[in-house]
Structures are given as structure tokens and as C-alpha cells.
Amino acid sequence: MGEPDVEPEDGEQNPDAEYDSDDNLIILYFPKIKSKKSLIECLIHEYQHYLQSPSWMQRYYDMGYHYGNHPYEVAALEAEKDWKLFA
């Protein structure tokens, strides 16, 4: 499943995947996912967003955080490092 013409809400450009909290969906952009490792990392990253509060996701952006330093993004990127546990 994927929606290649949809811009991500959080400002990240050209993501490999995203979590849609409104519809409770993890969306994968398969043309961009080139390996098993990348697929696993995407799923871990977006699953972290599934576990996080959507209202706090927006609050952090409203507080001035951006994709690169947003606490939820930092946590999701850190979680990706465990991708080998799922390979």
C-alpha cells in the first residue's frame, strides 16, 4: 500500500514510509525501499510513531522542533538501530 503523490504532514521530504494517525495506518512507499534492512527500519520507525501520542507529535512541532530534532523522530531513529532483531 502506498500513496506516492501524498506529501507527509511532518515536513519530511520524500519519505520511505509514514504513519497516518488519523487512519491508524503505516504507509510504505515500496519504490523507495530497496532492501530488507530498509523495510525493517521503516516498519520499526513508523511503529514507534504508532506508539507515540499524536497530540504530542504536533505539540513538539508547535514548540519549534523540526524533523531533525523532534523528540519522537529522534526516538524512532534510535529504535531503527535494532533492525537486526527482526531480520
The model's pLDDT over 5-52, given as tens digits with 9 standing for 90+, comes to: 444 455 556 789 999 999 999 999 998 899 999 999 999 999 999 999
Instruction: Tell me whether residue 61 is in a domain.
Output: yes
Please list, in sequence order, all residues whose beta carbon lies within 8 angstroms of the beta carbon of residue 68, skipping any fewer than 6 positions away. none
Amino acid at 72: Y
- Name the residue range of residue 35's domain: 17-86
Instruction: Tell me whether residue 12 is in a domain.
Output: no
CA angle, residues 8, 13, 17, in degrees to nearest 5: 55
- What are the grid coordinates assigned to 67, written together? 524533523
Q: Compute the distance between CA of residue 55 and CA of residue 66 in angstroms, rounded to an integer.
A: 15
Number of domains in the chain: 1
pLDDT (0 to 100) of residue 3: 41
The model's pLDDT over 54-87, given as tens digits with 9 standing for 90+, comes to: 999 999 999 999 999 999 999 999 999 999 999 9
Overall pTM > 0.85: no
Instruction: Tell me whether residue 76 is in a domain.
Output: yes
Instruction: Tell me whether residue 8 is in a domain.
Output: no
